[in-house]
A and B are shown apart, each in its own frame.
Chain A
Amino acid sequence: KNQVEQSPQSLIILEGKNCTLQCNYTVSPFSNLRWYKQDTGRGPVSLTIMTFSENTKSNGRYTATLDADTKQSSLHITASQLSDSASYICVVNSPSGTYKYIFGTGTRLKVLA
């Protein structure tokens, strides 16, 4: 069964610190991997999208990496801000016949002042 697993489930850091969130997937075949930010009670917002041939993508203080060989991705947040408090969701798109998105359950990040 295709799966996308994220770790840790939750994380608390102090404002200004860096953090790294992990995503492991078993989806095959693989088309692209996305990271979303979801504020509580709101729809997810796209942060990065990487195809299998890309191994890093940045969006401001957010940097995603991808290792398609080991099927691992990470999202690194630099110099965290209070507004980074949210859930971060890893999503894998598989083009195998039907275009489906497989979502991880997310990492809930809390940034404290």
Chain B
Amino acid sequence: EAQVTQNPRYLITVTGKKLTVTCSQNMNHEYMSWYRQDPGLGLRQIYYSMNVEVTDKGDVPEGYKVSRKEKRNFPLILESPSPNQTSLYFCASSPDLSGAGTDTQYFGPGTRLTVL
């Protein structure tokens, strides 16, 4: 089944304890992205990657790191989590981002993170 998977789905941690949220897609997609969703703010892009070893900042990259060593995986790393990073996180992928407008972005199921 074509899908985007995220792990863990739920995580409660404490301030300063490094964590990684994994994201994997099995559709051979070029483009992958991370978003956070907060009440009243909608989804905001954290980082995205247009191909292996190519990553770029989205709108809210502070406090996050990413890597794209393999096409299928795009982990999100919080080196020193803080309470303001408590949020619902989504990973997404799409075949490419050519600007032609026909590519669908597929989202993972989400990871609910609480930082105490």
Asked if B101 contacts A46 (CB within 8 A), the reply is: no
Asked if A98 contacts B90 (CB within 8 A), the reply is: no
Asked if B107 contacts A49 (CB within 8 A), the reply is: no
| A51 located at the interface, meaning its Cβ lies under 8 Å from any Cβ of chain B in the complex | yes
| Size category of the binding interface on chain B | 20 to 34
| B110 located at the interface, meaning its Cβ lies under 8 Å from any Cβ of chain A in the complex | yes
Asked if B44 contacts A42 (CB within 8 A), the reply is: no
Pick from A43, A93, A99, A103 the residue with the most CB of B within 10 Å. A43
Which of A44, A51, A98 makes the CB contact (< 8 A) with B43? A44
With A32-B101, A42-B109 already in contact, the answer to whether A89 and B56 are too (CB < 8 A) is no
Give the nearest-CB partner of B92 in chain A: A43
Q: Among residues 96 to 116 in chain B, which have CB atoms less than 8 Å away from a CB atom of chain A?
A: 97, 99-110
A31 to B97, CA, bound (A): 10
- Chain B residues within 8 Å of A101, by CB: 33, 43, 45, 105
- Chain B residues within 8 Å of A51, by CB: 100-102
- Chain B residues within 8 Å of A93, by CB: 97, 99, 101
With A43-B108, A43-B110 already in contact, the answer to whether A50 and B56 are too (CB < 8 A) is no
Asked if A104 contacts B105 (CB within 8 A), the reply is: no
